[in-house]
Chain A
Amino acid sequence: DTGVSQDPRHKITKRGQNVTFRCDPISEHNRLYWYRQTLGQGPEFLTYFQNEAQLEKSRLLSDRFSAERPKGSFSTLEIQRTEQGDSAMYLCASSLLGGSGNTIYFGEGSWLTVV
């Protein structure tokens, strides 16, 4: 069990460029979550998958954001036409199942700076 892995850990991009983050969940975890966190705030929910199905998307996930989880394994989060307000840490998490007893495990996050 290698934990939740995120790549890249840091990304600096110019406004208007597209960026993509990858998340590899803990193997056999069928739930995968994406969160966004800005300085001094708690993580905000973006979206989650159960296997390959995207079950919920937050209003925070504008049309410029898209997430996929092909084959129910790794996931990607793409941000198109980045804006300075997109600067944040993007956190990925996974869990074995939903429900009461299942701990959600987080990765180390991917920092995005839009200049």
Chain B
Amino acid sequence: KQEVTQIPAALSVPEGENLVLNCSFTDSAIYNLQWFRQDPGKGLTSLLLIQSSQREQTSGRLNASLDKSSGRSTLYIAASQPGDSATYLCAVATDKLIFGTGTRLQVFP
């Protein structure tokens, strides 16, 4: 059974810091891995999708890497801003998405 774990559960950093969010999964037989952002009380916004054959994807200040053999992905956020405050969820995909419990990020001015 696929299990997805995210570390840390919560993170509070000052504005401007570079930070790394971690995601690990137990079964490497995945189609892809997606990172999502969720604001309080809202739905999920897709940030990045890494196909199983890829090693990383970049979008603006975000960079996500995937090491399928070790069951790990990282989301790197450069030069964090208060507007980045949200919960970040990773999910691995087969026919459906299996989610981690998320990292709650707070960036303070």
Contacts and interface: CB of A to CB of B under 8 A. Distances in A.
B96 to A, nearest CB: 5
Contact of B99 (A43, A48, A100, A103): A43
**What band does the interface of chain A fall in when counting residues whose beta carbon is under 8 Å from B?**
20 to 34
B68 to A, nearest CB: 12
Contact of B31 (A33, A42, A48, A99): A99
A105 B96 contact: no
A9 to B, nearest CB: 10
A91 B31 contact: no
A101 B51 contact: yes
A72 interface: no
Interface in A41-81: 41-45, 48, 55-56
11 contacts: A6-B43, A43-B44, A43-B99, A55-B95, A56-B95, A93-B97, A104-B34, A104-B46, A106-B36, A106-B43, A108-B42
Interface string B42-61: 11111001011100000000
Contacts of B97: 33, 35, 43, 45, 93, 104
Given A106-B43, A106-B44, A109-B42, A100 B96 contact: no
Interface string A7-38: 00000000000000000000000000101000
B89 A42 contact: yes
Contact of A42 (B52, B96, B102): B102
B22 to A, nearest CB: 15
A48 B96 contact: yes
Interface of B: 4, 31-32, 34, 36, 41-46, 49, 51-53, 89, 91, 93, 95-102
Contacts of B100: 42
A101 B96 contact: no
Given A104-B34, A106-B44, A42 B93 contact: no
